[in-house]
């Protein structure tokens, strides 16, 4: 494909900011399709806990990489890069624009710029990290990464042991922080990238997060988590939205405390997402309700 005619429109922002609705509206206006870069929405078995687009939203625009994997599969960022580029190749074979959206900065970046090849880590090192996690728990992993790779610690979902274990095994296997492997040399992509970041006033965003959590609970989040409870140690379920409910189901605290933790951890997750995106000066920031301004900006980049 000719790069000069192809444009990838990237829409990012913290959880609950309003990415889904904006992207559907953009996809319909620009007559294109959406690729999800949200690492929590790939899995078929998870619904409410990941706030993925619902059936109505999925019917209003074509989405790629939503409900494509099972939680029983180990799916990493390298595999995602291949799948996302394949989806974009398909879209660009028919259209000149495509939309990439999500709140996972690492997954967005790997599509736009690639990442350095990760070295092969000996299995004994990987098993040693897994053993340490089993023996010492999540807090141990958090403290290790905080000391060994503070740059990654500032942006990673610190409630996700899979991400932390991966970073720790890379450090132990290479002596280099995981963050040092990320995008040292940008890969040439066959498309231009137009970056848009969404943000609301902090209090407004936090109200939306809390309302979303309340809605998820009303719609059956506890019941969904209870069905997944026997599988709670799978990597895909080690994330905000499920771990708080699993703690309740294990008898560690009551239902009210689980909801409080759900809201608190979601706010913290949003804060980490914003920390990541604000470090990238190539994003242009808008309120999600500034649709006309966003559309004008995108069109100006496509047709300068």
Per-residue pLDDT of 6-52, as tens digits, reads 999 999 999 999 999 999 999 999 999 999 999 889 999 999 989 89
Q: Reply yes or no on whether the pLDDT at 4 is more than 90.
A: no
CATH code for the structural domain at 3-116+183-302: 3.40.50.300
Helix, coil or strand: residue 114: coil
Q: Measured between alpha carbons, how far is residue 200 from residues 13, 41, 57, 211, 248 in Å?
A: 9, 23, 22, 15, 31
> With pLDDT > 70 as the criterion, what percentage of the chain qualifies?
98
Top mean pLDDT of 36-40, 170-174, 233-237 is at 36-40
For 241-267, give the DSSP string: TTHHHHHHHTTSS-HHHHHHHHHHHHH
Residue given tokens 């999925």 in the structure block: 58
Q: Buried (b) or exposed (e) across 156-187, using 16+ Cβ within 10 A?
A: bbbbbbbbbbbbbbbbbbeeebbbebbeeeee
pLDDT grade for 91, boundaries at 50, 70 and 90: very high
CA atoms of 256 and 222, how far apart (whole Å): 12
The angle that helices 161-174 and 123-136 make with each other, rounded to 10 degrees, is 130
Residue 116 has pLDDT above 80, yes or no: no
Residue 1: the pLDDT is 58
What is the pLDDT, as a whole number, of residue 121?
A: 81
Contacts from 161-169 at CB under 8 Å and sequence distance 24+?
Answer: 161/133, 161/235, 161/238, 162/235, 162/238, 164/138, 165/129, 165/130, 165/133, 165/141, 166/76, 168/129, 168/132, 168/141, 168/144, 169/121, 169/125, 169/126, 169/129
Q: Which fold does the domain 123-181 belong to in CATH?
A: Histone, subunit A (1.10.20)
* Strand pairing report for 284-286 and 97-102: unpaired
The whole-number average pLDDT for the span 104-123 is 83
Is residue 92 predicted with pLDDT exceeding 90?
yes
Vertex 98 angle, CA 95 and 101, to 5°: 165
Alpha-carbon distance of 54 to 215, in angstroms, equals 13
Binding site, annotated residues for substrate: 15-20
pLDDT digits (tens, 9 = 90+) for 255-299: 999 999 999 999 999 998 998 899 899 999 999 999 999 999 999
pLDDT band at 156 (very low <50, low <70, confident <90, very high): confident
Which residues make up each annotated binding site?
Answer: 13-20
Q: Binding site for ATP: what residues are annotated?
A: 13-20
Q: Region 92-107: what's the mean pLDDT?
A: 94
CA dihedral (71, 75, 77, 79) positive or negative = negative
**Cβ neighbours around 9 below 10 Å, total:** 26
For residues 124 and 177, the model is more confident at: 177
Q: Summarize pLDDT for 265-277 with one digit per residue, the tens.
A: 999 999 989 988 9
pTM, two decimals, is 0.83
Alpha helices in the chain (DSSP H): 19-30, 55-60, 77-92, 105-113, 123-136, 138-148, 150-153, 161-174, 202-219, 221-228, 243-249, 255-278, 291-302
Kindly report, residue by residue over 70-84, the tens digit of the pLDDT.
Answer: 999 878 788 899 999
pLDDT at 3 > cutoff 70: no
Is the model's pLDDT at 246 over the cut of 90? yes
194: pLDDT strictly greater than 80: yes
- Using alpha carbons, select from 165, 198, 191, 186 the residue that is nearest to residue 273: 198
Residue 183 has pLDDT above 80, yes or no: no
CA 41 – CA 49 distance, rounded (Å) = 9
Q: Indicate whether 114 pLDDT > 70.
A: yes
Q: Over 80: is that where the pLDDT of 185 sits?
A: no
Q: What residues does CATH 3.40.50.300 cover in the chain?
A: 3-116+183-302
List, by residue range, all CATH 1.10.20.140 domains of the chain.
123-181
Tokens linked to 200: 């609301």
């Amino acid at each position: 494909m000719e790069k000069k005619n192809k444009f990838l429109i990237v829409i990012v922002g913290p959880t609950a900011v309003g990415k889904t609705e904006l992207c559907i509206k953009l996809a319909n206006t620009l007559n294109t399709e959406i690729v999800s870069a949200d690492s929590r929405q790939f899995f078929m078995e998870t619904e409410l806990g990941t706030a993925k687009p619902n059936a109505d939203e999925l019917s209003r625009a074509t989405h790629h990489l939503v409900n494509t994997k099972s939680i029983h599969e180990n799916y990493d960022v390298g595999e995602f890069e291949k799948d996302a580029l394949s989806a974009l190749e398909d879209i660009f074979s028919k259209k000149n624009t495509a939309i990439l959206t999500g709140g996972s900065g690492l997954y967005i970046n790997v599509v736009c710029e690639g990442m350095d090849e990760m070295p092969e880590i000996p299995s004994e090192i990987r098993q040693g990290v897994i053993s340490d996690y089993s023996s010492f728990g999540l807090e141990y992993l958090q403290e290790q990464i905080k000391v060994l790779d503070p740059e990654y610690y500032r942006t990673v979902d610190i409630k996700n042991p899979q991400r932390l274990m991966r970073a720790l095994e890379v450090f132990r296997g290479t002596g280099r922080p995981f963050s040092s492997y990320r995008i040292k040399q940008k890969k040439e992509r066959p498309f231009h990238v137009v970056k848009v970041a969404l943000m609301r006033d902090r209090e407004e965003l936090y109200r939306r997060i809390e309302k979303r959590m309340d809605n998820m609970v009303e719609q059956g989040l506890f019941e969904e988590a209870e069905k997944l409870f026997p599988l709670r140690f799978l990597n895909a379920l080690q994330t905000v939205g499920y771990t708080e409910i699993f703690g309740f189901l294990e008898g560690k605290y009551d239902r009210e405390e689980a909801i409080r933790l759900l809201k608190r951890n979601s706010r913290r997750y949003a804060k980490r997402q914003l920390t990541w995106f604000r470090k990238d000066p190539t994003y242009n920031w808008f309120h999600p309700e500034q649709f006309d301004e966003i559309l004008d900006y995108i069109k100006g980049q496509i047709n300068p």
